[in-house]
Structure 1
Amino acid sequence: MFLTRFQINPARRNARKLLSSPHAMHAAVRSAFAAVEDYECADARTLWRLDTPGTATVHLYIASPGRPDLTHLVEQAGWPTTETWVTREYDGLLSSLRMGQEWAFRLAANPTHSGRKTADAKETQRFGYLREQEQVDWLARRADRHGFALASQQDGRPNLRLHRRQTQSFKRGLGTVTLTTATFDGLLRITDADTFRRALTGGIGHAKAYGCGLLTLAPAQPTS
């Protein structure tokens, strides 16, 4: 596995097109892999996420089974005269994970539930959770099945911060896709290392092709 960071230049026209359409960004990420097995394999798939650490800074993160070639993105939406992209091997971190470890994390996700659009509808559909508490509850329910537990604050609530909560619509072929997303920043504790590794390499939730599901880790800050 590999983890890649690419800085997007939002002032460029092609960059604005990619940033406005998860479908277009998905196609650009897919084009970074010549071989199918580098994009997706039996126990891992390519995941991506957009982060905005500053008002004029946008980073694209990609976790993938194979090493990507982002030359086309540099030419279309990057900073060709200053930097290209950074790719690091991910397997060392994955193999070091153990039960009981605590990590800070970030996850962009598509919090949804299944239901019928009308009382007499025969088929179920996925609907996005719109309220912040519903989105927090969605992640809390999925934590155990993905091998981790959310850390709690002194008041017992999950130690989480939600941002970039939005509902976005974009074209896909002749149709329109509507996607509800939220980014979670928080603290977690690993409860099952093997299951947690699968969550890191396979993603969490739906809409993985559209920039959701990638959970990344950072050292947890010690508490006083």
Structure 2
Amino acid sequence: MTAPTNTAAQHVADGETGLRVWRSALTLSIEQQHLCLDVQELHRLVMRGFRAPHTVTATRTPRPAGILFAARRSTPLRDPGTRRLSAGAPEKILVQSPQQPHWSHLLSAGALTAATTIPVRQHYNTGDIIEGRTFANPVAHDRRTGRNLSRRTAQECGEWLRGKLHQQGLDISPQRITMGEGQSVTGMHGDDPVKIILREMFMTGIVTDSDKFHALLAGGFGRAKAYGCGLLLTRPVE
């Protein structure tokens, strides 16, 4: 897998392939947290950092290549009937992008109460051991029905994660995966309802192909990237 030239996986100053991105830590206002319970509204908020400040659209904004984000949410709520969890409101967002975003207009408008952006560089060699964390939407395509079905058990989700990351240069064993309970997030895409099951996942693995792995870090993985899934945050294990 070769990283596109317009992503953050590119040659760094020392001639090695690595990750070069901008990461923004955003704090949402209380009003904006409530609005962004709708994941489509959350998507729109993030995209506003990458377009002209006065641009207004009621439709879904196309997600430019390489923009990923993850939300830290308030306490989830459990349905007393089904016992399933609904995700809480997004309080803070971490946004990763190949280009520098601009959040001043969202701060001025009161949608954000704080925003910090810094450049980040990472480089891994084949054979390095890493710890990783992600929010993902584990689904599998059912050829009989043509539908994408959520993976529900911890074993199913772990197998899904291993398969996805193995294709992109990271090998993890089942014993080195832990995850939280699935939480549903919802919204409206035009007249169509959106429902995604989020799982926070933690893993330890070994880099098997550094080029593929850097492309994975730059481009994310899995489905629902536009709704806060697929950003993999890592650190080396000494």
TM over 0.5: yes
Partner of 2:115: 85
Length-normalised TM-score, structure 1: 0.78
CA offsets per residue over residues 92-142 of structure 1, 9 Å max, x none?
21xx221111221111111111115xx6x5xx1211112221111100112
Distance 1:53 1:177 in 2: 20
User: Once the 2 structures are TM-superposed, how far is the Cα of residue 76 of structure 1 from its aligned partner?
Assistant: 3.4
Contact 2:128-2:236 at 8 Å conserved across structures: no
Distance 1:160 1:107 in 2: 11
Q: Structure 1: give runs of 5+ residues left out of the alignment.
A: none
User: Once the 2 structures are TM-superposed, how far is the Cα of residue 164 of structure 1 from its aligned partner?
Assistant: 5.1
User: Once the 2 structures are TM-superposed, how far is the Cα of residue 219 of structure 1 from its aligned partner?
Assistant: 3.9
Partner of 1:208: 225
What is the DSSP-based 3-state SS (H/G/I as helix, E as strand, rest coil) of the residue aligned with 1:130?
coil
Aligned pair in 2 of structure 1 residues 57, 132: CA closer, same or farther (>3 Å)?
Answer: same
Contact 1:105-1:186 at 8 Å conserved across structures: yes
Contact 1:130-1:180 at 8 Å conserved across structures: no
Q: Identity rate of aligned residues, in percent? A: 24
Contact 2:74-2:91 at 8 Å conserved across structures: yes
Partner of 2:170: 148
What is the DSSP-based 3-state SS (H/G/I as helix, E as strand, rest coil) of the residue aligned with 1:98?
coil
Contact 1:40-1:65 at 8 Å conserved across structures: no
1:50 aligns with 2:71: yes
Aligned pair in 2 of structure 1 residues 175, 141: CA closer, same or farther (>3 Å)?
Answer: same
**AA matched with 2:119:** E
CA offsets per residue over residues 171-190 of structure 1, 9 Å max, x none?
12111012122111121221
By percentage of residues, which structure has more helix? Answer: 1
What is the DSSP-based 3-state SS (H/G/I as helix, E as strand, rest coil) of the residue aligned with 2:167?
helix
Length-normalised TM-score, structure 2: 0.73
The equivalent position to 1:14 in structure 2, one of 11, 28, 32, is 32
**AA matched with 1:7:** T
The equivalent position to 2:45 in structure 1, one of 28, 34, 46, is 28
